[in-house]
């Protein structure tokens, strides 16, 4: 049962009485569409299925499978993401061209849907800083970034106020703010039970604090995408209006296809371009409830100003270390190799300076490609290198496993030595890498990370 106060609040969303009734019936029905977004760096051809109209790589599934039992899910071939939130790619493509090198912040990033989307859209020479303040959620975020395997993301765990150390630094900031979750009522019944007008007010205040604290990190002329998964105006249009009133900004023009079913609106911005807002209502689109606004920071002084580095993180790889690492990367000429402690990492050359600036000022949990440790000039590879999209396959022998054996590997079970080469092997399923295994005589050492193993189901 939907809370009466929530039903009353829908009068401010722009829906007429019939639309509000249709929305409430849809939320109470509890039937949710299933959508995923495939990784074009790991899957050359689009899978079969109805496409999500506002995202090149999104498509719907006829039913929800057991993703945990699909090796391709663990290989980072696709990401399970709610369709409405995939609209972020349409916004990105409307504003930025192919090949632009951008500095992007996904401020409230866990579990990683928008971060992996932005990393894909922006290209490998851009940098996406994926931040999550709650450390446990940040660790899950880091796992999903490693699985996606592009190498252009730095995962941080910082309060929004910490990004003042990167003043005027980001070209694009996405704030998918913590909210009252009205748009997820049919997907998460607990959100319905926890909803209250007081919770809405609490969320609205927290969202304004987040926006005010991160605003200085956006460069003049940069873009802020503000989004929630809720319906009420208090957390949506009113917060956008507050931002326009208190900061020098305006909207940008974003075109959409009327056939998509998205409800468009706008928030006035004085004499500037009104801020476009987009509402996704589950009774009108094939997706959950979603709201977003696109805001441009006023042009002005664009010099990036950085605080002094707090630490030195990276040590440049020696020539000998580089020589040992280069055979593991498909295009090593584009990579920059460094050492962190006794571990070797690879970064795209064009993106490395930006990653270094972030790592010297914020709490970085993971970045680039963790290659592994060198012993007497020989690399002991780590799991993220196996999932890196540009791993040099010829670096080690490959072991192709069928579905049953692949699931056994993902459970960290014993894998027979037959068919494996002596030493390190790359385990693959349908040609896509899953991780490493080492043959030592007649036995094998399953090197799939313990913390990622599939529990017996």
DSSP-assigned letter for residue 377 = T
Q: What is 381-415 written as a DSSP string?
A: E-HHHHH-TTB-GGGS-EEE--HHHHHHHHTT---
Contact present, 81 and 444 (Cβ < 8 Å) = no
Measured CA to CA, the distance from residue 454 to residue 77 in angstroms comes to 17
Distance CA 247, CA 273 (A): 14
Q: Can you give 96-140 as a three-state secondary structure string? A: CCCCCCCEEEECCCCCCHHHHHHHHHHCCCCEEEEECCCHHHHHH
Interatomic CA distance for residues 436 and 370, integer angstroms: 14
How would residue 59 be classed by pLDDT, with cut points 50, 70 and 90? very high
**What pLDDT sits at residue 307?**
74
Domains of the chain by residue range = 396-457
Instruction: Report, as residue numbers or ranges, the catalytic residues.
Output: 229
- The rounded mean pLDDT for the chain is 95
Q: What is the per-residue pLDDT for 275?
A: 98
Q: Mean pLDDT across the stretch 48-62?
A: 94
Specify whether domain 396-457 bears CATH 3.10.450.720: yes
Total residues found in the chain within this entry: 457
Confidence of residue 302 (pLDDT cuts 50, 70, 90): low
pLDDT at 439: 97
pLDDT, tens only, 77-124 = 999 999 999 999 999 999 999 889 999 999 999 999 999 999 999 999
| 456 has pLDDT over 70 | no
Mean pLDDT of 119-134: 97
Q: Identify the pLDDT of residue 44.
A: 81
What local confidence, expressed as pLDDT, does residue 304 receive?
63
- Mean pLDDT along residues 65-77: 96
Q: What is the pLDDT of residue 198?
A: 96
Q: What pLDDT is attached to residue 334?
A: 97
Measured torsion, CA atoms of residues 153, 156, 159, 160, in degrees rounded to the nearest 10: -10
Q: State what percent of residues in the chain have pLDDT above 70.
A: 98
Position 99 scores a pLDDT of 85
> Mean pLDDT throughout 208-237?
97
Q: Please report, for residues 150, 337, 338, the alpha-carbon distance to residue 349 in angstroms, rounded to integers and kept in the order given.
A: 14, 9, 11
Give the per-residue pLDDT at 301.
57
pLDDT given for residue 457 in this prediction:
59
Q: Is pLDDT above 90 for 282?
A: yes
Q: What is the pLDDT of residues 133-168, one digit of tens each?
A: 999 999 999 999 999 999 999 999 999 999 999 999
Query: How large is the average pLDDT for residues 398-419?
Result: 96
Q: What pLDDT is stored for residue 364 in this prediction? A: 97
Distance, CA of 327 to CA of 35 (rounded, Å)? 37
């Amino acid at each position: 049962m939907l809370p009466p106060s929530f039903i009353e609040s829908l009068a401010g969303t722009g829906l007429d009485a019939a639309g509000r009734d249709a929305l409430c019936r849809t939320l109470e029905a509890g039937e949710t569409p299933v959508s995923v977004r495939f990784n074009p760096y790991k899957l050359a051809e689009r899978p079969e299925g109805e496409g999500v109209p506002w995202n090149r790589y999104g498509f719907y599934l006829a039913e929800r499978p057991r993703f945990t039992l699909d090796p391709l899910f663990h290989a980072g071939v696709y990401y399970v993401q709610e369709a409405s939130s995939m609209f972020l790619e349409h916004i990105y493509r409307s504003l930025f061209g192919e090949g632009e090198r951008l500095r992007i912040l996904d401020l409230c990033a866990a579990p990683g849907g928008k971060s992996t989307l932005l990393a894909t859209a922006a290209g490998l020479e851009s940098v996406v800083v994926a931040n999550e303040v709650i450390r446990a959620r940040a660790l899950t975020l880091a796992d999903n970034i490693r699985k996606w395997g592009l190498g252009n993301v730095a995962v941080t765990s910082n309060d929004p106020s910490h990004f003042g150390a990167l003043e005027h630094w980001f070209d694009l900031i996405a704030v998918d703010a913590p909210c009252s979750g009205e748009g997820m009522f049919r997907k998460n019944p607990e959100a319905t039970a926890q909803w209250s007008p007081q919770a809405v007010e609490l969320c609205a205040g927290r969202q304004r604090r987040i926006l005010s604290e991160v605003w200085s990190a956006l460069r003049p002329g940069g873009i802020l995408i503000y989004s929630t998964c809720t319906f009420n105006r208090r957390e949506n249009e009113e917060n956008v209006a507050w931002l326009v009133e208190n900061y020098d900004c305006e909207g940008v023009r974003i075109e959409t296809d009327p056939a998509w079913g998205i409800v468009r609106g706008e928030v006035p911005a004085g004499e500037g371009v009104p801020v476009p807002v987009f509402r996704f209502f589950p009774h009108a689109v094939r997706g959950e409830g979603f709201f977003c606004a696109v805001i441009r920071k006023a042009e002005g002084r664009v010099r990036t100003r950085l605080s002094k580095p707090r630490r030195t993180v990276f040590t440049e790889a020696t020539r000998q270390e580089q020589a040992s690492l280069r055979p593991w990367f498909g295009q090593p000429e584009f990579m920059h190799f460094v050492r962190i402690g006794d571990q070797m990492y690879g970064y795209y050359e064009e993106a490395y300076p930006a990653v270094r600036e972030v790592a010297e000022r914020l709490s970085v949990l993971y970045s680039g490609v963790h290659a592994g440790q060198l012993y007497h000039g020989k690399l002991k590879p780590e799991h993220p290198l196996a999932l890196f999209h540009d791993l040099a396959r010829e670096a080690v022998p490959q072991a192709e496993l069928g579905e049953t054996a692949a699931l056994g590997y993902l459970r960290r079970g014993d894998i027979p030595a037959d068919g494996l080469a002596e030493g390190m092997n790359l385990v693959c399923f349908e040609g896509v890498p899953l991780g490493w295994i080492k043959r030592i005589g007649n036995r094998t050492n399953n090197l799939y990370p313990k913390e990622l193993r599939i529990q017996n189901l």
